[in-house]
Amino acid sequence: MSETRIPRWKSWPHVIRIQDFTVADLEDLVAHARRFEEALKKRQGLPRLWKPRPAILELLFFEASTRTEHTNWVAGYLLGMGVRDVPNPKVFSSAVKGESLVDAICALTRTGGMGEMRAADCVVIRHGDEGSAQIAADTIDIANGDGSGPKTPLPVINGGDGKGQHPTQAMVDLLTIFCERKISSDRHPLDNLNILFTGDLLRGRTSNSLMYELGRFGFDHKIHITFSTLGGMEPKDEILSYLARRGIDYGSESNFKKALRDADVVYLTRHQKERATPDEPLFSVEERLPFTFEKGDEHLLKEGAVIMHPLPINRNPEDPPPEIDNFFTPLAIKGDPRFAWFRQSHRGVPLRAALNDFIFAGIDSGWERVPQNVSMT
Ligand code: NCD
């Protein structure tokens, strides 16, 4: 393990945007997560780089979560951290009395004036507003900079900020592609990858982060991205121009069935109507139906193709159709190699543990914030 490089990224030690990570950072992270995954499968202790010390991981989820919150909790526990979960802070914190995010972060982390007498050593935050994770990180950095005590960094991890990003989900997705793609071992898992995105690509933060992440690999691997979704739910222009700048070949295909035939990976996403602003379109069941993965569509897939979904799948009978027919759930539960979403979500544990391990090993080796002269692309 001694030769493992502990990466540090542009926003280090915070994890706010996936494009702050270089290709080398992401490759190292995936390799470390794979070691963790193997250890967990064998029910062995994690081959961690960080020598655990008393440390608290604070989970601050202002929005609902099943996987991100749970896998962060387990990852922290497996690393030997104390994990505190503020249950539903919108209801059970002083947010209900009008408290701001900045004030809550100061209270919950106790950075700054009290020096190292902290209430948390790492914060994972999920919030409905884009930019909230950056606000939390800035608050902590200001408090640390002005405080009188030692300045050990206190990382903030973005667990999803509104319609912005969900960087650790993109890392989980990358790990999943590396593990699931059926490709000869002498080739890189992203070589000639043809990935199809469908669903709500305008408001989905997981697809935003995954596209930015694939963009990082654009100059090293031939990657083709196809969007097949309703007009009005295509990715934001800033993402498309990033992909173009990063050498990603992308295009749109209105015929979902046709797009399915060429894909190595299909990335389904949920219709995020709760995030729609009044000026954004909402689509009827009839309009969305042509973009549902239906029974029979599995026969259209290429040999070895994999269906991924960051989850949740909306199975509310009042709001049909789900983006994938319920017929496929038992197959996914049984571990059918084509339907990867449960394996994808379970990889949240090794991935998030590996990420925290890198962060804490880096901090304990004396690294503070990334110095200005470090060249980061
Ligand atoms: C998503 C999220 O919250 O952004 N899920 C996740 O964290 N894995 C996707 C969604 O809400 O549809």
Pick the atom of ligand 1 nearest to 63's CA: 3
Grade residue 373 by pLDDT with cuts at 50, 70 and 90.
very low
| Rounded CA separation 136/31 (Å) | 29
Whether 271 is in the pocket of ligand 1, judged by its Cβ within 6 Å, is no
How confident is the model over 249-288, as pLDDT tens digits? 999 999 999 999 999 999 999 998 889 998 887 888 888 8
The residue whose CB lies within 8 Å of the most ligand 1 atoms, and thus the one to mutate among 18, 127, 166, is: 166
CA of 82: how far to CAs of 25, 87, 279, 358, in Å? 27, 16, 44, 17
Q: Which helix (H) or strand (E) holds 287?
A: helix 285-288
Whether 206 is in the pocket of ligand 1, judged by its Cβ within 6 Å, is yes
Closest by CA position to 229, among listed 257, 203, 200, 205: 200
Pick the atom of ligand 1 nearest to 166's CA: 4
| Rounded CA separation 326/314 (Å) | 10
Grade residue 86 by pLDDT with cuts at 50, 70 and 90.
confident
Whether 270 is in the pocket of ligand 1, judged by its Cβ within 6 Å, is yes
Whether 17 is in the pocket of ligand 1, judged by its Cβ within 6 Å, is no
Query: Is the Cβ–Cβ distance between 151 and 116 less than 8 Å?
Result: no
- Could you count the other beta carbons within 10 Å of the beta carbon of residue 242? 18
Pair of tokens at residue 338: 């084509």
Residue with tokens 């914190």: 93
Closest by CA position to 235, among listed 249, 220, 251, 258: 251
How confident is the model over 162-176, as pLDDT tens digits? 999 999 999 999 999
What confidence score (pLDDT) does residue 150 get?
Answer: 61
Whether 166 is in the pocket of ligand 1, judged by its Cβ within 6 Å, is yes
Pick the atom of ligand 1 nearest to 172's CA: 8
Per-residue DSSP letters for 317-377? TTSPPPSB-GGGHHHHHHT-TTB-HHHHHHTHHHHHHHHHHHHHHHHHTT--SPPTTS---
Per-residue DSSP letters for 39-72? HHHTTPPP--SS---S-EEEEEESS--SHHHHHH
Residue 126: strand pairing partners: 61
Grade residue 148 by pLDDT with cuts at 50, 70 and 90.
low
Ligand 1 atom 7: the closest Cα is on which residue?
68
Write the DSSP symbol of residue 91. Answer: H
Q: Which of 59-63, 224-228, 365-369 has the lowest mean pLDDT?
A: 365-369
What confidence score (pLDDT) does residue 374 get?
Answer: 46
How confident is the model over 179-233, as pLDDT tens digits? 999 899 899 999 999 999 999 999 999 999 999 999 999 999 999 999 999 999 9
Q: What is the pTM of this model?
A: 0.94
